[in-house]
Structure 1
Amino acid sequence: VQSSDRGAALRSEHHQSVAEIVRKLEGLNIPPEPLQSPLIFGDWDVEYCSNPTAPGGYYRSALGRFFLATEAMIQTVKAPDFVGNSVSFSLLGILKGQVSLKGKLVALDEKWIEITFDPPFLKLGPIEAQYGKSSKVKIAVLYVDEKIRLGRGSRGAVFVFKRR
Protein backbone atom coordinates (compact mmCIF):
# COMPACT_ATOMS: atom_id res chain seq x y z
CA VAL A 1 0.00 0.00 0.00
CA GLN A 2 3.03 2.26 0.10
CA SER A 3 2.96 5.11 -2.41
CA SER A 4 -0.74 4.46 -3.10
CA ASP A 5 -2.14 7.68 -1.60
CA ARG A 6 -3.51 5.60 1.28
CA GLY A 7 -5.17 3.17 -1.12
CA ALA A 8 -6.77 5.72 -3.45
CA ALA A 9 -4.36 4.90 -6.30
CA LEU A 10 -4.65 1.10 -6.06
CA ARG A 11 -6.40 -1.03 -8.64
CA SER A 12 -9.17 -3.44 -7.72
CA GLU A 13 -6.93 -6.53 -7.62
CA HIS A 14 -4.60 -4.82 -5.15
CA HIS A 15 -7.54 -3.90 -2.90
CA GLN A 16 -8.56 -7.57 -3.02
CA SER A 17 -5.04 -8.63 -2.00
CA VAL A 18 -5.11 -6.26 0.96
CA ALA A 19 -8.55 -7.54 1.98
CA GLU A 20 -7.27 -11.13 1.93
CA ILE A 21 -4.26 -10.26 4.12
CA VAL A 22 -6.55 -8.45 6.55
CA ARG A 23 -8.85 -11.50 6.72
CA LYS A 24 -5.86 -13.73 7.54
CA LEU A 25 -4.60 -11.41 10.28
CA GLU A 26 -8.10 -11.05 11.68
CA GLY A 27 -8.29 -14.84 11.90
CA LEU A 28 -5.24 -14.88 14.17
CA ASN A 29 -7.38 -13.18 16.81
CA ILE A 30 -4.43 -11.30 18.31
CA PRO A 31 -5.17 -10.05 20.89
CA PRO A 32 -8.43 -11.94 21.53
CA GLU A 33 -10.19 -8.78 22.76
CA PRO A 34 -8.36 -5.89 21.06
CA LEU A 35 -10.30 -3.19 22.91
CA GLN A 36 -8.90 -4.52 26.19
CA SER A 37 -5.31 -4.19 24.95
CA PRO A 38 -3.21 -1.11 25.81
CA LEU A 39 -1.74 -1.48 22.31
CA ILE A 40 -4.80 0.28 20.88
CA PHE A 41 -3.69 3.60 22.38
CA GLY A 42 -1.26 5.94 20.64
CA ASP A 43 -0.76 7.93 17.46
CA TRP A 44 -1.48 6.08 14.23
CA ASP A 45 -0.86 6.99 10.59
CA VAL A 46 -3.68 6.00 8.26
CA GLU A 47 -1.71 3.95 5.72
CA TYR A 48 -4.61 2.51 3.75
CA CYS A 49 -8.36 2.59 3.39
CA SER A 50 -10.30 0.53 0.84
CA ASN A 51 -12.70 3.48 0.43
CA PRO A 52 -10.71 6.70 -0.21
CA THR A 53 -13.40 8.98 1.21
CA ALA A 54 -13.96 7.04 4.45
CA PRO A 55 -11.11 8.85 6.23
CA GLY A 56 -11.44 12.52 5.35
CA GLY A 57 -14.80 12.68 3.59
CA TYR A 58 -15.04 14.89 0.54
CA TYR A 59 -11.49 16.13 1.15
CA ARG A 60 -10.44 12.66 -0.06
CA SER A 61 -12.88 12.43 -3.00
CA ALA A 62 -11.38 12.39 -6.52
CA LEU A 63 -12.07 16.12 -6.87
CA GLY A 64 -10.79 16.83 -3.37
CA ARG A 65 -7.55 14.91 -4.04
CA PHE A 66 -7.09 16.91 -7.26
CA PHE A 67 -7.00 20.21 -5.37
CA LEU A 68 -5.84 19.04 -1.94
CA ALA A 69 -2.67 16.95 -1.75
CA THR A 70 -2.88 14.89 1.43
CA GLU A 71 0.27 15.24 3.51
CA ALA A 72 -0.71 13.29 6.63
CA MET A 73 -3.66 11.38 8.03
CA ILE A 74 -3.33 10.68 11.73
CA GLN A 75 -5.57 9.07 14.31
CA THR A 76 -4.83 9.52 18.00
CA VAL A 77 -6.43 7.19 20.54
CA LYS A 78 -5.96 8.07 24.23
CA ALA A 79 -7.25 6.35 27.35
CA PRO A 80 -9.90 6.15 28.39
CA ASP A 81 -12.09 7.26 25.45
CA PHE A 82 -10.53 10.01 23.28
CA VAL A 83 -10.18 9.73 19.50
CA GLY A 84 -8.75 12.49 17.34
CA ASN A 85 -8.55 12.39 13.54
CA SER A 86 -6.63 14.87 11.43
CA VAL A 87 -5.99 15.26 7.72
CA SER A 88 -3.22 17.68 6.78
CA PHE A 89 -3.14 18.88 3.19
CA SER A 90 -1.81 21.44 0.76
CA LEU A 91 -4.23 23.39 -1.43
CA LEU A 92 -2.78 23.39 -4.96
CA GLY A 93 0.68 23.11 -3.40
CA ILE A 94 0.39 26.69 -2.12
CA LEU A 95 -1.66 26.89 1.05
CA LYS A 96 -1.39 24.47 3.99
CA GLY A 97 -4.51 23.25 5.74
CA GLN A 98 -5.86 20.74 8.20
CA VAL A 99 -9.23 19.25 9.06
CA SER A 100 -9.53 17.70 12.50
CA LEU A 101 -12.16 15.85 14.47
CA LYS A 102 -12.30 15.17 18.19
CA GLY A 103 -14.48 12.42 19.52
CA LYS A 104 -15.37 10.02 22.26
CA LEU A 105 -15.35 6.26 21.81
CA VAL A 106 -17.66 3.75 23.43
CA ALA A 107 -17.04 0.00 23.25
CA LEU A 108 -20.07 -1.82 21.86
CA ASP A 109 -18.61 -5.30 22.38
CA GLU A 110 -15.15 -6.94 22.38
CA LYS A 111 -14.29 -5.63 18.87
CA TRP A 112 -16.75 -2.91 17.85
CA ILE A 113 -16.55 0.71 18.94
CA GLU A 114 -18.76 3.70 18.21
CA ILE A 115 -17.12 7.10 17.99
CA THR A 116 -19.16 10.29 18.32
CA PHE A 117 -17.26 13.20 16.79
CA ASP A 118 -17.74 16.90 17.44
CA PRO A 119 -18.22 19.07 14.32
CA PRO A 120 -15.06 19.28 12.17
CA PHE A 121 -12.50 22.02 12.67
CA LEU A 122 -10.87 23.49 9.54
CA LYS A 123 -7.65 25.43 9.39
CA LEU A 124 -6.69 26.85 5.99
CA GLY A 125 -3.71 29.16 6.13
CA PRO A 126 -4.65 31.85 8.67
CA ILE A 127 -8.36 30.98 8.62
CA GLU A 128 -9.77 28.72 11.34
CA ALA A 129 -13.39 27.66 11.73
CA GLN A 130 -15.58 24.93 13.09
CA TYR A 131 -18.30 23.89 10.66
CA GLY A 132 -20.86 21.21 9.95
CA LYS A 133 -22.40 18.93 12.52
CA SER A 134 -21.39 16.10 14.79
CA SER A 135 -21.08 12.60 13.36
CA LYS A 136 -20.94 8.97 14.47
CA VAL A 137 -19.03 6.01 13.09
CA LYS A 138 -18.79 2.36 14.05
CA ILE A 139 -15.51 0.51 13.57
CA ALA A 140 -14.39 -3.02 14.40
CA VAL A 141 -10.82 -3.38 15.66
CA LEU A 142 -9.71 -6.54 13.86
CA TYR A 143 -6.07 -6.78 14.86
CA VAL A 144 -3.54 -4.75 16.84
CA ASP A 145 0.14 -5.22 17.69
CA GLU A 146 3.07 -2.92 18.46
CA LYS A 147 3.24 -1.59 14.87
CA ILE A 148 -0.04 -2.23 13.04
CA ARG A 149 -3.76 -1.86 13.72
CA LEU A 150 -6.47 -3.10 11.37
CA GLY A 151 -10.08 -2.01 11.34
CA ARG A 152 -13.31 -2.37 9.40
CA GLY A 153 -16.00 0.28 9.23
CA SER A 154 -19.69 -0.54 9.52
CA ARG A 155 -20.03 -0.04 5.74
CA GLY A 156 -17.19 -2.48 5.01
CA ALA A 157 -14.24 -0.12 4.49
CA VAL A 158 -10.95 -1.71 5.58
CA PHE A 159 -8.37 0.44 7.39
CA VAL A 160 -4.66 -0.17 7.96
CA PHE A 161 -2.99 2.00 10.61
CA LYS A 162 0.74 2.17 11.34
CA ARG A 163 2.01 3.33 14.72
CA ARG A 164 3.90 6.64 14.59
Structure 2
Amino acid sequence: MATMLVQPPFPASHVIPLRTSRLVPPKHSRTKTTRFGDSPSGSTSIYTIRVAEQSSGLVGNDTLVYTKAELYQTLEGINRGIFGAPSAKKSEIEDLVKLLESQNPTPDPTLNLEKLAGCWKLVYSTITILGSKRTKLGLRDFISLGDFFQTIDIPKSKAVNIIKFNVRGFKLLNGQLTIEASFKIASESRVDISYDNSTITPDQLMNVFRTNYDLLLSIFNPEGWLEITYVDDTMRIGRDDKGNIFILERSEKNSISP
Protein backbone atom coordinates (compact mmCIF):
# COMPACT_ATOMS: atom_id res chain seq x y z
CA MET A 1 0.00 0.00 0.00
CA ALA A 2 2.61 2.01 -0.40
CA THR A 3 1.93 1.94 -2.67
CA MET A 4 -0.72 3.51 -0.89
CA LEU A 5 2.06 5.40 -0.33
CA VAL A 6 -5.52 21.94 6.16
CA GLN A 7 -8.64 20.79 5.59
CA PRO A 8 -9.50 20.83 1.89
CA PRO A 9 -12.72 21.90 0.15
CA PHE A 10 -13.13 18.29 -1.02
CA PRO A 11 -14.27 15.68 -0.08
CA ALA A 12 -16.73 16.98 2.50
CA SER A 13 -18.64 18.33 -0.40
CA HIS A 14 -17.97 16.62 -3.72
CA VAL A 15 -19.41 18.45 -6.70
CA ILE A 16 -21.21 15.86 -8.76
CA PRO A 17 -22.11 16.15 -12.41
CA LEU A 18 -25.28 14.75 -13.87
CA ARG A 19 -24.66 11.27 -15.24
CA THR A 20 -26.05 12.32 -18.61
CA SER A 21 -23.15 14.70 -19.20
CA ARG A 22 -19.71 14.59 -17.64
CA LEU A 23 -18.68 18.09 -18.65
CA VAL A 24 -21.90 20.14 -18.71
CA PRO A 25 -22.49 22.11 -15.50
CA PRO A 26 -25.74 21.12 -13.74
CA LYS A 27 -28.48 23.72 -13.61
CA HIS A 28 -30.17 22.80 -10.34
CA SER A 29 -28.97 22.18 -6.81
CA ARG A 30 -29.71 19.14 -4.75
CA THR A 31 -28.08 17.18 -1.95
CA LYS A 32 -27.58 13.44 -1.97
CA THR A 33 -26.06 11.41 0.86
CA THR A 34 -24.41 8.11 0.00
CA ARG A 35 -22.50 5.42 1.87
CA PHE A 36 -18.99 4.28 1.11
CA GLY A 37 -16.95 1.66 2.99
CA ASP A 38 -17.20 0.21 6.49
CA SER A 39 -15.51 1.45 9.64
CA PRO A 40 -14.24 -0.82 12.45
CA SER A 41 -16.80 0.55 14.87
CA GLY A 42 -19.65 -0.44 12.60
CA SER A 43 -20.39 3.13 11.58
CA THR A 44 -20.19 4.05 7.93
CA SER A 45 -18.24 6.76 6.18
CA ILE A 46 -20.73 9.21 4.75
CA TYR A 47 -20.06 11.18 1.62
CA THR A 48 -22.37 14.17 1.24
CA ILE A 49 -22.56 14.73 -2.47
CA ARG A 50 -23.93 17.93 -3.87
CA VAL A 51 -25.01 18.69 -7.38
CA ALA A 52 -24.58 22.44 -7.33
CA GLU A 53 -24.73 25.27 -9.80
CA GLN A 54 -21.42 26.25 -11.35
CA SER A 55 -20.10 29.47 -9.85
CA SER A 56 -16.96 31.53 -10.12
CA GLY A 57 -16.03 30.37 -6.61
CA LEU A 58 -15.44 26.79 -7.78
CA VAL A 59 -12.24 25.38 -9.20
CA GLY A 60 -11.52 26.95 -12.58
CA ASN A 61 -11.04 23.70 -14.47
CA ASP A 62 -14.61 22.48 -14.82
CA THR A 63 -13.61 19.29 -16.59
CA LEU A 64 -11.34 18.29 -13.71
CA VAL A 65 -14.02 18.97 -11.10
CA TYR A 66 -16.65 16.92 -12.91
CA THR A 67 -14.26 14.05 -13.65
CA LYS A 68 -13.32 13.76 -9.97
CA ALA A 69 -16.98 13.90 -9.04
CA GLU A 70 -17.89 11.15 -11.48
CA LEU A 71 -15.02 9.04 -10.17
CA TYR A 72 -16.41 9.31 -6.63
CA GLN A 73 -19.81 8.24 -7.92
CA THR A 74 -18.29 5.24 -9.68
CA LEU A 75 -16.48 4.18 -6.50
CA GLU A 76 -19.67 3.98 -4.48
CA GLY A 77 -20.55 0.56 -3.10
CA ILE A 78 -17.36 -1.37 -3.98
CA ASN A 79 -15.62 -1.13 -0.57
CA ARG A 80 -12.41 0.32 -2.00
CA GLY A 81 -12.18 -2.58 -4.45
CA ILE A 82 -10.35 -4.68 -1.86
CA PHE A 83 -12.63 -7.68 -2.42
CA GLY A 84 -12.81 -7.19 -6.15
CA ALA A 85 -15.11 -5.32 -8.50
CA PRO A 86 -16.93 -6.18 -11.75
CA SER A 87 -14.67 -5.85 -14.79
CA ALA A 88 -16.93 -3.20 -16.31
CA LYS A 89 -16.69 -1.14 -13.13
CA LYS A 90 -12.90 -1.50 -13.03
CA SER A 91 -12.67 -0.37 -16.64
CA GLU A 92 -14.82 2.67 -15.93
CA ILE A 93 -12.62 3.59 -12.96
CA GLU A 94 -9.48 3.10 -15.05
CA ASP A 95 -10.84 5.40 -17.77
CA LEU A 96 -11.63 8.14 -15.26
CA VAL A 97 -8.22 7.73 -13.62
CA LYS A 98 -6.50 8.12 -16.99
CA LEU A 99 -8.55 11.22 -17.71
CA LEU A 100 -7.51 12.74 -14.39
CA GLU A 101 -3.88 11.77 -14.96
CA SER A 102 -3.95 13.57 -18.30
CA GLN A 103 -4.99 16.75 -16.45
CA ASN A 104 -2.60 16.37 -13.50
CA PRO A 105 -2.15 19.88 -12.00
CA THR A 106 1.10 18.75 -10.33
CA PRO A 107 3.14 17.00 -13.05
CA ASP A 108 6.35 17.05 -10.93
CA PRO A 109 5.07 15.95 -7.50
CA THR A 110 8.44 15.15 -5.95
CA LEU A 111 9.46 18.73 -6.65
CA ASN A 112 6.36 19.84 -4.74
CA LEU A 113 6.58 17.62 -1.67
CA GLU A 114 4.26 19.83 0.37
CA LYS A 115 1.47 18.48 -1.83
CA LEU A 116 2.18 14.95 -0.56
CA ALA A 117 2.64 15.64 3.15
CA GLY A 118 0.04 14.75 5.77
CA CYS A 119 -2.63 12.12 6.20
CA TRP A 120 -4.43 10.38 3.33
CA LYS A 121 -7.27 7.89 3.26
CA LEU A 122 -7.51 5.12 0.68
CA VAL A 123 -10.72 5.15 -1.36
CA TYR A 124 -9.75 2.63 -4.05
CA SER A 125 -7.04 0.13 -4.88
CA THR A 126 -6.65 -2.64 -7.42
CA ILE A 127 -4.99 -4.75 -4.70
CA THR A 128 -7.54 -7.45 -3.92
CA ILE A 129 -7.99 -10.14 -1.26
CA LEU A 130 -9.92 -12.97 -2.89
CA GLY A 131 -10.59 -16.69 -2.58
CA SER A 132 -8.37 -18.69 -0.23
CA LYS A 133 -6.46 -15.58 0.87
CA ARG A 134 -9.64 -13.98 2.13
CA THR A 135 -10.67 -17.19 3.89
CA LYS A 136 -7.28 -17.70 5.57
CA LEU A 137 -7.29 -14.15 6.89
CA GLY A 138 -10.80 -14.54 8.26
CA LEU A 139 -12.10 -11.63 6.20
CA ARG A 140 -15.41 -13.22 5.27
CA ASP A 141 -17.34 -13.28 8.55
CA PHE A 142 -14.91 -13.27 11.48
CA ILE A 143 -12.83 -10.16 10.74
CA SER A 144 -13.83 -7.01 8.89
CA LEU A 145 -11.62 -4.36 7.33
CA GLY A 146 -11.89 -0.78 8.42
CA ASP A 147 -10.27 2.33 7.01
CA PHE A 148 -6.85 2.51 5.38
CA PHE A 149 -4.73 5.55 6.22
CA GLN A 150 -1.32 6.73 5.10
CA THR A 151 0.65 9.48 6.78
CA ILE A 152 3.55 11.04 4.86
CA ASP A 153 6.34 12.68 6.87
CA ILE A 154 8.42 14.64 4.37
CA PRO A 155 11.30 15.73 6.67
CA LYS A 156 11.88 12.12 7.78
CA SER A 157 11.20 10.61 4.33
CA LYS A 158 8.80 8.19 6.03
CA ALA A 159 5.39 6.76 5.23
CA VAL A 160 3.22 5.08 7.84
CA ASN A 161 0.40 2.89 6.57
CA ILE A 162 -2.45 1.97 8.91
CA ILE A 163 -4.96 -0.79 8.15
CA LYS A 164 -7.82 -0.99 10.64
CA PHE A 165 -9.49 -4.27 11.63
CA ASN A 166 -12.49 -5.33 13.68
CA VAL A 167 -12.74 -8.83 15.17
CA ARG A 168 -16.35 -9.67 15.90
CA GLY A 169 -15.55 -12.79 17.89
CA PHE A 170 -13.66 -10.81 20.53
CA LYS A 171 -16.33 -8.42 21.80
CA LEU A 172 -15.88 -6.13 18.85
CA LEU A 173 -12.12 -5.92 19.31
CA ASN A 174 -10.62 -3.10 17.26
CA GLY A 175 -7.01 -3.12 16.15
CA GLN A 176 -4.65 -2.22 13.35
CA LEU A 177 -1.71 -3.29 11.25
CA THR A 178 0.93 -0.55 11.11
CA ILE A 179 3.56 -0.66 8.37
CA GLU A 180 6.40 1.83 8.39
CA ALA A 181 8.41 2.48 5.26
CA SER A 182 11.09 4.85 3.99
CA PHE A 183 11.04 6.56 0.62
CA LYS A 184 13.54 8.37 -1.54
CA ILE A 185 13.03 10.41 -4.67
CA ALA A 186 13.79 8.49 -7.85
CA SER A 187 12.50 11.00 -10.41
CA GLU A 188 10.23 14.03 -10.69
CA SER A 189 7.20 11.79 -10.26
CA ARG A 190 8.51 8.55 -8.72
CA VAL A 191 9.66 7.44 -5.27
CA ASP A 192 11.41 4.23 -4.26
CA ILE A 193 9.94 2.65 -1.13
CA SER A 194 11.68 0.40 1.38
CA TYR A 195 9.91 -1.61 4.06
CA ASP A 196 11.13 -0.76 7.59
CA ASN A 197 8.95 -2.63 10.08
CA SER A 198 5.41 -3.60 10.98
CA THR A 199 3.34 -4.20 14.09
CA ILE A 200 -0.14 -5.41 14.92
CA THR A 201 -1.91 -4.01 17.95
CA PRO A 202 -3.35 -5.02 20.33
CA ASP A 203 -1.76 -8.39 21.13
CA GLN A 204 -5.10 -10.18 20.78
CA LEU A 205 -5.27 -9.15 17.14
CA MET A 206 -1.70 -10.31 16.57
CA ASN A 207 -2.71 -13.69 17.96
CA VAL A 208 -5.52 -13.85 15.41
CA PHE A 209 -3.21 -13.10 12.48
CA ARG A 210 -0.04 -14.83 13.71
CA THR A 211 -0.37 -17.95 11.56
CA ASN A 212 -1.02 -15.91 8.41
CA TYR A 213 1.09 -12.86 9.20
CA ASP A 214 3.40 -13.41 6.22
CA LEU A 215 0.37 -13.57 3.95
CA LEU A 216 -0.97 -10.33 5.41
CA LEU A 217 2.35 -8.57 4.84
CA SER A 218 2.66 -9.95 1.31
CA ILE A 219 -0.59 -8.16 0.47
CA PHE A 220 0.16 -4.82 2.11
CA ASN A 221 3.97 -4.63 1.99
CA PRO A 222 4.85 -1.30 0.34
CA GLU A 223 8.29 -2.36 -0.96
CA GLY A 224 8.99 -1.22 -4.54
CA TRP A 225 8.41 2.03 -6.39
CA LEU A 226 5.41 4.31 -6.67
CA GLU A 227 4.69 6.62 -9.58
CA ILE A 228 2.60 9.59 -8.41
CA THR A 229 0.43 10.20 -11.44
CA TYR A 230 -1.99 12.78 -10.04
CA VAL A 231 -2.06 15.03 -6.99
CA ASP A 232 -3.99 18.13 -6.01
CA ASP A 233 -5.14 19.56 -2.68
CA THR A 234 -7.62 16.77 -2.02
CA MET A 235 -6.79 13.72 -4.14
CA ARG A 236 -3.73 11.62 -4.94
CA ILE A 237 -3.40 8.81 -7.49
CA GLY A 238 -0.44 6.47 -7.83
CA ARG A 239 0.67 3.40 -9.75
CA ASP A 240 3.20 0.94 -8.37
CA ASP A 241 5.73 -1.47 -9.87
CA LYS A 242 3.23 -4.33 -9.56
CA GLY A 243 0.68 -2.61 -11.80
CA ASN A 244 -1.66 -1.53 -9.01
CA ILE A 245 -3.61 1.73 -8.89
CA PHE A 246 -4.20 3.63 -5.65
CA ILE A 247 -6.64 6.50 -5.15
CA LEU A 248 -6.44 8.43 -1.88
CA GLU A 249 -8.11 11.51 -0.51
CA ARG A 250 -7.01 14.03 2.08
CA SER A 251 -8.07 13.07 5.59
CA GLU A 252 -8.83 15.22 8.60
CA LYS A 253 -7.42 12.43 10.74
CA ASN A 254 -4.16 13.40 12.46
CA SER A 255 -3.64 10.53 14.88
CA ILE A 256 -2.42 7.07 13.91
CA SER A 257 -3.36 5.46 17.19
CA PRO A 258 -5.91 2.60 17.28
Instruction: Give the structure 1 partner of residue 11 of structure 2.
Output: none
Match of 1:62 among 121, 127, 134: 134
Counterpart CA distance in 2 for 1:127 and 1:68 is 10
Larger Rg over CA atoms: 2
After superposition, give the CA deviation of every residue in 1:79-113 in whole Å (9 maximum; x if it has no partner).
Answer: 13110001011023632120001111111111111
Candidates 96, 115, 121, aligned match of 1:39:
115
In structure 1, the partner of 2:226 is 139
Closer, same or farther: CA 125–95 of 1 in aligned 2, 3 Å: farther
Number of residue-to-residue matches in the alignment = 158
Q: Does 1:105 align with 2:179?
A: no
**Counterpart of 1:138 in structure 2: which amino acid?**
W
Question: 2:241 — aligned with what?
Answer: 154
Structure 1 residues 19 and 126, CA gap change in structure 2 (3 angstroms): same
The range that moved more, 81-90 or 34-43, is 34-43
- Report deviation, 1:10: 2.1
- Name the structure where strand makes up a greater proportion of residues: 1
Asked if 1:95 is matched to 2:170, the reply is no
CA separation of 1:135/1:83 partners in 2, compared to 1, >3 Å: closer, same or farther?
closer
Q: Is the 8 A contact 1:118 1:135 kept in 2?
A: no
Name 1:77's counterpart in structure 2.
152
Moved more, 35-44 or 3-12: 3-12
Question: Percent identity, aligned pairs only?
Answer: 22
Which string of whole-angstrom CA distances, capped at 9 and with x for unpartnered residues, describes residues 39-97 of structure 1?
A: 111100010001225xxxx9xx4323313211110011111311000101102363212
Quick check: 1:2 aligned with 2:89? no
> Residues 127 and 24 of structure 1: is their aligned pair in 2 closer, same or farther, counting only changes over 3 Å?
closer
Amino acid at match of 1:70: L
**Contact map agreement 2:104 2:231 (CA 8 A) in 1:** no
- Structure 1 segments, 4+ long, off by >3 Å, are 124-135
Secondary structure of 1:109's counterpart equals: coil
Secondary structure of 2:166's aligned partner: strand
The residue matched to 2:191 in structure 1 has which SS?
Answer: strand
1-structure distance, mates of 2:146, 2:222: 24
Quick one: distance in 2 between partners of 1:103 and 1:9? 26
TM-score, normalising length from structure 1? 0.84
- Establish whether residue 86 from structure 1 lines up as the match of residue 173 from structure 2: no
| Structure 1 gap ranges (5+) | none
Q: Mean Cα displacement is larger for which, 94-103 or 134-143?
A: 134-143
Q: Which residue of 1 aligns with 2:128?
A: 52
Q: Which has the higher helix share?
A: 2
8 A contact 1:6–1:52 mirrored in 2: no
In structure 2, the gaps of 5 or more residues are 1-74, 252-258
TM-score by length of 2: 0.55
